[in-house]
């Protein structure tokens, strides 16, 4: 796969910019792991090694024993175990190789002055050749076209209320309640406008996973400041003006391991909870393209994790989407564990109960990102890291590999399940270059 915008992380950059996210805050101990390939990528059959460095107070630790366990990405059992004693704070671990495309995860532990510290690093082997376990059902398109047609029978209905606390001298914010169907189900969201006359691109921004308030509504205010209408919405029909405590109570009551929304109704493709969520993305586009301030050309879907999945799903479901940007997408090749390798969040086969049934496997295929990704025609940009254990690199590569549209990737190997502010601002810059 053509590696576009591949981030090669020098040691100095690792120490200066990544430590705040990848290591415990204000930790005395710092791990540094350096693969013998700068891009952390190998061909199948090539042998990988990782140099391990360990510092306390910035001083290399000598004669510290580092134990390691190495296995497949997200696999519960290691196939290799061992230890290395650091000399002048350094040691080399043989990570081995893979015969099939995928990732190996090297998990490390060391005890320093009586306290044990952990770290890990994943390296890839021909990941551009990864393909999904999930296949597209023969009636996949027909199923979703019918669902969209049924939703279309319900007229576009919403309320819009100005929110002073999220408005500035440059942007206006409105709280929107968007009705989805005749059952009275809805979603809420914050709509941000540039405070000037004109016609603007519209940006649909679905949320990450969970039952929670909309995270820091002003954190992406630069979209509206730079000429986009942006709609950040939630998916559960819960007013984001509720307090964090109220959201937590609802989440505790209705989002447990046995009754979480991502497993709710998974026995039936017609009754699965996420059906109305996916259709809410289409209704969100209906709403945005109805605004008189829309420029009539540009519809962007953008999000991370579950939001990244929903952005890709929106682009696959709705040809009005012209640009799609997704970070480490969830809900991708969810049944991949049945192939003996990592599957996508929510990791049904690791984190839930009684998932491996024919009915549930069948339903997953109608809701898996990889099948929507095959339908995308919009210009698409995806970012992901290798050390992510929430949305593992295995599944991000799989999604990217099945895209048949114009596409680019920003690969940031050291990242766990996060993106930097600079990366997120870079999304807007990329979008602006791809506007019609």
Tell me which residues are annotated as active site. Answer: 305, 388, 417
Q: State both tokens at 425.
A: 């601002």
Rg of the chain on CA atoms, in Å: 23
Residue 273 CA to residue 366 CA, distance in Å, equals 12
> What is d(CA 272, CA 269) in angstroms, rounded to the nearest whole number?
6
Give CA–CA dist 194/307, Å, rounded.
23
**Could you tell me the two tokens for 430?**
């990329």
Pairing status of strand 323-327 against strand 294-304: parallel
Handedness of CA 42, 45, 46, 47 (dihedral sign): positive
Residue keyed to tokens 């590696």: 3
What's phi and psi for 122, nearest 5 deg? -115, 140
Rounded Cα distance between 157 and 179, Å, is: 5
Pairing of strands 229-233, 186-194: antiparallel
Q: How many CA atoms lie within 13 A of 46 on its CB side?
A: 17
Give the integer Cα–Cα distance in Å for 187 and 49. Answer: 49
Cα separation, 170 vs 223, in Å, equals: 11
Between CA 121 and CA 11 the distance in angstroms is: 14
Q: 369: part of which helix (H) or strand (E)?
A: helix 369-373
């Amino acid at each position: 796969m053509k590696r576009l915008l591949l981030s090669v992380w020098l040691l100095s950059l690792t120490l200066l910019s990544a430590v705040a996210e990848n290591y415990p805050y204000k930790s005395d101990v710092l791990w540094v792991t350096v693969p013998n390939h700068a891009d952390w990528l190998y061909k199948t059959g090539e042998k990988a090694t990782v140099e391990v460095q360990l510092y306390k107070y910035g001083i290399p630790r000598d004669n510290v024993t580092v134990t390691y366990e190495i296995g497949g990405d997200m696999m519960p059992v290691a196939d290799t175990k061992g230890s290395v004693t650091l000399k002048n704070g350094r040691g080399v671990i043989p990570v081995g190789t893979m015969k099939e495309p995928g990732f190996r995860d090297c998990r490390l532990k060391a005890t320093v002055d009586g306290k044990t510290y952990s770290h890990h690093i994943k390296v890839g082997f021909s990941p551009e050749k990864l393909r999904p376990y999930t296949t597209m059902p023969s009636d996949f398109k027909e199923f979703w076209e019918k669902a969209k047609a049924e939703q279309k029978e319900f007229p576009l209905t919403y309320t819009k209320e100005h929110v002073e606390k999220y408005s500035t001298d440059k942007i206006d914010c409105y709280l929107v309640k968007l009705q989805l169907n005749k059952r009275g189900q809805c979603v809420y969201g914050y709509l941000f406008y540039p405070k000037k006359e004109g016609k603007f691109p519209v940006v649909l921004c679905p949320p990450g996973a969970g039952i929670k308030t909309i995270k820091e509504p002003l954190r992406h205010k630069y979209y509206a400041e730079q000429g986009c209408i942006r709609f950040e919405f939630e998916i559960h029909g819960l007013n984001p003006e509720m307090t964090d405590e109220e959201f937590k109570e609802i989440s505790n009551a209705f989002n447990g391991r046995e009754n979480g929304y991502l497993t709710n109704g998974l026995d039936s493709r017609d009754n699965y909870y996420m059906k109305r969520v996916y259709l809410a993305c289409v209704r969100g586009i209906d709403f945005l393209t109805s605004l008189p301030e829309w420029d009539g050309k540009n519809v962007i879907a953008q999000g991370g994790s579950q939001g990244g999945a929903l952005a890709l799903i929106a682009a696959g479901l709705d040809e009005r989407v012209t640009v799609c940007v997704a970070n480490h997408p969830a809900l991708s090749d969810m049944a991949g564990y049945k192939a003996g390798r990592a599957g996508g969040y929510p990791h049904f086969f690791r984190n839930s109960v009684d998932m491996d049934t024919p009915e549930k496997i069948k339903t997953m295929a109608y809701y898996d990102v990889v099948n929507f990704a095959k339908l995308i025609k919009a210009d698409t940009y995806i970012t992901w890291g290798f050390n992510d254990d929430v949305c593992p690199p295995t599944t991000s590569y799989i999604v990217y590999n099945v895209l048949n549209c114009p596409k680019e990737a920003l690969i940031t190997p050291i990242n766990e399940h996060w993106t930097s502010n600079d990366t997120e601002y870079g999304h807007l810059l990329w979008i602006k270059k791809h506007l019609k």
